[in-house]
Amino acid sequence: MPQSKPRGGAASSKDSKYDLGKISARVDRVHVSGLLRTHNDYVMRAADGLFKADNFQDVMLEAMSTKAYLHELGIFKDVSVHIDVSRGADASPQGYEVTFKGNEYSRMMGSAGTEVGQNEGSLRTELTVPNILGRGESISLQGSYSNTRANDLQLKFWKPFFHTRFRENRPEFSFSIFRQTDRFDISSFQSTNVGYLIDFSAHSSLGVDLTHSLQYENSIRNVGLLNKSVPFGIREHCGPKLASLVRYSVVFDNRDANVFATRGILLKSTNEYCGLGGNVAYTSSTAHGEVNVPLFSGFVAQFCGRVGIVKETKQTTLLPISSLFYCGGPMTLRGFKYGGAGPVVDGTPIGAQTYWCTGAHLWAPLPFAGVFKSLASNFRTHFFYNIGNTNTFSLENMRSAFGMGLAFKFADRARIEINYCIPVRRQATDKVLNGFQFGIGYEFI
């Protein structure tokens, strides 16, 4: 029997004389072959849906979703599906046998590539040992070297629990040890974090689909200076501190695409409480939202907004400088230099305790997009208007800028923008950028 194609099957059922939905079928037997290191119980739930199918169309659809599920388990490089009539003594008259032929990952995998962070590109190498213990447990060692000269190193162990009865919730547990450097060039300091992170993430679908992630992080944050003449207000923060924090983030996303969405809403909120032991204490909350409204002939209106607040707790002696928010730059307020729309000490910008910024976009496909269809789908033009401010929620003295530009979709996840920006309202201490601005990242305003 040839490999089944669910969409073809579903479509053909409507216009051909054979309606596959009316052909009754029963799955007698499901084979999953190619399990060398993997334990049998790890793929047991793969067959759940198949046995419930009672017509041939369902069998094919279920087979495809099972194939996707087997991929998600993180043990197979590729999976092929075979559907055959069942034979043998105990075969039922309408019986079928479904066989999944998997090809397990090799013991060790290496990869190298580029990665896009917020306004930085980095070179990343990764070494993964998949499926160590036979139930999807994996370890990876990841190193990246970015253009801002920050080196990150991460050793991560993770275990999915997709094979348990909470399969629908996609629970996953991970533990990682990391060393990470964040450079704040505009404020002449860098923060080197060394520590570990425990993460538990799951989906919930009570009414709305949400992705939750609960993390505990324990790390040493060492603030160092990047040059000699640094304002004393920044120098005060130097030295190592121990941070112990819980972080909870929740994401709602029903957009139709990650980068150039035409409809849908993204809501994201992250809350941190730091101060469970250690000598850093603060609470931090950020919220990010994006609404896309389709207009006509490919035009999309998009509204984005972001708010962030860092607050002292009872134990706080000094708010950590590396947890403050920087406003300005291609990710937040276009038309300003990175971090250039915020408070300053002795002429050097530092982060703000609160900030908000919003953006309104009108996205349009490239002209003559129909001619170069595949290429043009990676590009969009936009007109934007950004408004934002730091350390106050009033509309007085706010910053704003408008402009237009070209955006490019990069690897289905990141966006590269080149914009011509015109700052409209600014403060005397702000560093503006009137002209072309380049931005690369995955979460824009």
Q: Given the rule CB under 8 A, which residues bind another protein?
A: 220, 223-224, 228, 232, 235-236, 238-240, 242, 277-279
Distance of alpha carbon 260 from alpha carbon 81, whole angstroms: 33
Separate counts of helices (H) and strands (E) for the chain? 5, 21
Could you tell me which of 288, 309, 294 has the C-alpha nearest to residue 442? 288
> In 237-387, where does DSSP find H-type helix?
373-376
Closer to another protein by Cβ: residue 77 or 235: 235
Please, what is the minimum distance in Å from the beta carbon of residue 46 to another protein?
A: 44
Closer to another protein by Cβ: residue 280 or 440: 280
Closer to another protein by Cβ: residue 228 or 373: 228
Q: Which amino acid is at 100?
A: F
Please, what is the minimum distance in Å from the beta carbon of residue 184 to another protein?
A: 17
Please, what is the minimum distance in Å from the beta carbon of residue 180 to another protein?
A: 17
The DSSP bridge pattern shows strands 348-349 and 344-345 to be antiparallel
Please, what is the minimum distance in Å from the beta carbon of residue 178 to another protein?
A: 16
- Residues 380, 419: contact at Cβ < 8 Å? no
Other beta carbons within 10 angstroms of residue 347's beta carbon come to: 7
Closer to another protein by Cβ: residue 131 or 323: 323
321 in helix, strand or coil?
helix
- Residues 211, 251: contact at Cβ < 8 Å? yes
Closer to another protein by Cβ: residue 277 or 435: 277
Closer to another protein by Cβ: residue 239 or 370: 239
Distance of alpha carbon 140 from alpha carbon 159, whole angstroms: 12
Please, what is the minimum distance in Å from the beta carbon of residue 220 to another protein?
A: 6
Closer to another protein by Cβ: residue 242 or 411: 242
Could you tell me which of 328, 310, 318, 340 has the C-alpha nearest to residue 233? 318
Classify residue 302 by its DSSP letter.
Answer: E
Please, what is the minimum distance in Å from the beta carbon of residue 189 to another protein?
A: 12
49 DSSP β-pair partners? none
Please, what is the minimum distance in Å from the beta carbon of residue 349 to another protein?
A: 18
